[in-house]
Amino acid sequence: MPFEKFATFREIMSQTEAWAQALELIQTAQLSIAEDYDQVIFTGCGSTYYLSLASSALYQELTGRVARAIPGSELLLNSKTILADQKILLVAISRSGTTTETVKAVEKFKADKLGDVLVISNYNEVLSRLADINIVISKGQEESVAQTRSFASMYVAASGFAARMAGRADLLDRMASLPEIGERIIQDFEPTARQIGENVDFDRFYFLGSGTRYGLACEVNLKMKEMTLTHSEPFHFLEFRHGPMSMVNKKTVVVGLVSESNFNHENAVLNEMRALGGKTLAIGESGVDIVFDSGIPESVRGVLYLPALQLMAFYRSLVKGLNPDRPNNLVAVIKLNL
């Protein structure tokens, strides 16, 4: 089958070009915003909410300033549970720049004069026009419904933004090699992704990630759900022992987004799941199944976890007779009458 006929495949395989553009935009952006915020809120919907989970954790890790992730709908409809009398930086993330909940939440935030707004998007749309600072990564634009290239490009931008706000020019310099390394990982580990993805003996997938990697685990779990209609859930590594491991058997794949900082603890979880009969797939810098060997600091190499797992979902979608470009019941942009 000519995989290139699917937009999803083309977007996954070409995504490192969008990573490079994201890095260039962050390096050159005029970040004319203050740094004395009481709180930084990252917001989005669906995939971009998961991107917000990963990015807020990274922002707080690098800057030492309080950051949290809130779905756009919660920021709009339940703002009293989130916002206080503080100076806030709102980072709004949206592939299309037109998602209703995110747009309305930003409009309300600005009307209430609560702080500055940074928008990260792939299209220069209504959300971008509400921003004090606007990052539009056009090379992340997509034809397909499920976010792959777009998510990765915006996550690179969010990671670079966190590094800049932390005054870590050294991290931005090291991130410059991400596109080259990402290209190598895609080429080297596409066969592994395909082998697991096409194995229909597996009927459930669990994605484990902790710290800054939990949001990424949520996102790759969503790709498996959207594209393949397969039972899939994300968990923090050690939380998986507290009940969910009861689901592990020979039909289970447990994917670990492994860190260097907690390698021994996380690897122990994967070893236990393998002893229960599950298939495990560990991804990380070294000593795992899909190896980055990047030399990039752990805090800013998170995007490298994504391509192989996106490909795994793509191949599983095809083997199940589904269309990865048009997942069941989904549209690319949610627009509501609010």
What's the pLDDT score for residue 1? 66
Q: In the Cβ-directed half-sphere of 103, how many Cα atoms lie within 13 Å?
A: 18
pLDDT tens digits, one per residue of 238-263: 999 999 999 999 999 999 999 999 99
Top CATH class of 3-175 equals alpha beta
Strand order in the sheet with 290-291: 231-235, 204-208, 252-257, 279-284, 290-291
| Residue 30 burial (C-beta neighbours within 10 Å; 0-12, 13-18, 19+) | exposed
What's the pLDDT score for residue 34? 62
pLDDT tens digits, one per residue of 281-304: 999 999 999 999 999 999 999 999
What's the pLDDT score for residue 335? 62
Residues sharing a CB contact under 8 Å with residue 267, sequence separation 6 or more, in sequence order? 256, 258, 282, 287
Identify any residues that bridge with 290 across adjacent strands, giving them in sequence order: 283
pLDDT tens digits, one per residue of 157-186: 999 999 999 999 999 999 999 999 999 999
Residues sharing a CB contact under 8 Å with residue 334, sequence separation 6 or more, in sequence order? 45, 46, 99, 100, 101
Residues sharing a CB contact under 8 Å with residue 48, sequence separation 6 or more, in sequence order? 93, 94, 95, 99, 102, 147, 151, 154
Q: CATH for 178-319, among 3.30.1330.40, 3.30.300.30, 3.40.50.10490, 3.90.76.10?
A: 3.40.50.10490
Token pair in block for residue 8: 């999803």
Residue that has been written with the tokens 């309305």 in this structure: 104
pLDDT tens digits, one per residue of 95-150: 999 999 999 999 999 999 989 999 999 999 999 999 999 999 999 999 999 999 99
In the chain, ranges of CATH 3.40.50.10490 domains: 3-175, 178-319
Integer CA distances (angstroms), 4 to 88, 101, 273, in order: 44, 34, 35
Entry pTM: 0.95
Token pair in block for residue 73: 């709908």
